[in-house]
Chains A and B, each alone.
Chain A
Amino acid sequence: MITATDMTTMLAQNLRVIGLQTEGLTHGDSMLQLPFRGNCLNWVLGHMLVSRDYMLRIAGAETLWDADKSAPYMFGSEEMTAEADAVPMESILADLQRSQECLAEVMTALDDGTLDAPFENERDDTLRKRLAFMTWHDSYHTGQTEYLRQLSGVNDKVI
């Protein structure tokens, strides 16, 4: 069975990629819009933070962001085009680092009984499966940051 350590290792790998793909970018770069349907880098990073907060919550810990701060980054939120809704990118990146530390601590403290307890969700029936899905979700969006870096015109290859 996938362990909490397996999951936090993958989350750490995603965070490492995020660090590389955002290196040298500004908050303004993170608000650049794709020339086709799709959210900007700021939204993707904030969405990852909000999703990591969800993992913290279902693992029994406090979240980093409150509901108001999270709302613009939730699934199904309006496309983020106005600066007014956006959290500064540097703040999101710092919070992603903090979330990694919190998740590593909280998830590895969960015992098998807790991880395999029934979890009510339309997709997953145990906490372990739900956390594994969210870990996959984190990797999915990490891949998108590669293109969103290039949208800023850097024209490089960082990983």
Chain B
Amino acid sequence: MISGAEMIHLLARNLQVIEAQTEGLTHADSMLQLPFRGNCLNWVLGHMLVYRDHTLKMAGGVPLWEKTRALPYWYGSEAMQADDDSVDLGIILADLRRSQERLAAALAALTEAQFNADSCDHGDNLRECLLELVWHDGYHAGQIEYLRQLTGVNDQVMVI
């Protein structure tokens, strides 16, 4: 079964993708809207942070964002178009780095018994729930590639 260290590794890879795909972008770039249904870069990154916070809570850690800040980035929230709802891109990126550190500590501290405990509502045990959240992080990491190109940079910043 997947270990905490392997989950940390997967999350770290997603953070590498985020760093590469947001290099040189501004907060305004992150608010650009797709010409079809779909949320902007700012929402996707904030959404990843909120779900990492959820992962942290499940792993016994302390989340970074309070409920009010997290709300516009939850699943099912309104499409983010106005600047007044959004957290600054630089802050989200800094918090994603902090979340990686907290997740690494929290996941590394979990015992096998805790991983295998029936303590969540999405999977047979905590390990399965955490794996689902790690999968979710990778799913959205792939979308960032397009959201970078939406700004018109017309480049290829990573080899995947």
Binding site for B on A (CB under 8 A): 1-3, 6, 10, 13, 17, 34-38, 75, 132, 136-137, 139-144, 146-147, 150-151, 153-157
- Asked whether, in the complex, the Cβ of B141 is within 8 Å of the Cβ of A2, the reply is no
By size class, the interface of chain B is: 20 to 34
* Interface flag for B145 (CB, 8 Å): yes
A-B contact pairs, 20 of them (CB 8 A): A1-B1, A1-B2, A2-B2, A2-B6, A6-B2, A37-B149, A75-B160, A132-B6, A136-B138, A139-B138, A139-B139, A143-B138, A143-B139, A143-B141, A147-B34, A147-B38, A150-B38, A151-B36, A154-B37, A155-B37
* Interface flag for B81 (CB, 8 Å): no
Q: How far is the CB of B147 from chain A (nearest CB, A)?
A: 9
The residue on A at minimum CB distance from B1 is A3
- Asked whether, in the complex, the Cβ of B3 is within 8 Å of the Cβ of A2, the reply is yes
- Asked whether, in the complex, the Cβ of B135 is within 8 Å of the Cβ of A13, the reply is yes
- Asked whether, in the complex, the Cβ of A144 is within 8 Å of the Cβ of B142, the reply is yes
Q: How far is the CB of B60 from chain A (nearest CB, A)?
A: 22
* Interface flag for B71 (CB, 8 Å): no
Binding site for A on B (CB under 8 A): 1-3, 6, 10, 13, 17, 34-38, 131, 135, 138-143, 145-146, 149-150, 152-156, 159-160
Taken together as a complex, chains A and B put the C-alpha atoms of A34 and B143 apart, in Å, by 13
The residue on B at minimum CB distance from A157 is B37
Taken together as a complex, chains A and B put the C-alpha atoms of A14 and B153 apart, in Å, by 29
Taken together as a complex, chains A and B put the C-alpha atoms of A6 and B159 apart, in Å, by 25
Question: What are the residues of chain B within 8 A of A157 when measuring CB–CB?
Answer: 37
- Asked whether, in the complex, the Cβ of B146 is within 8 Å of the Cβ of A140, the reply is no
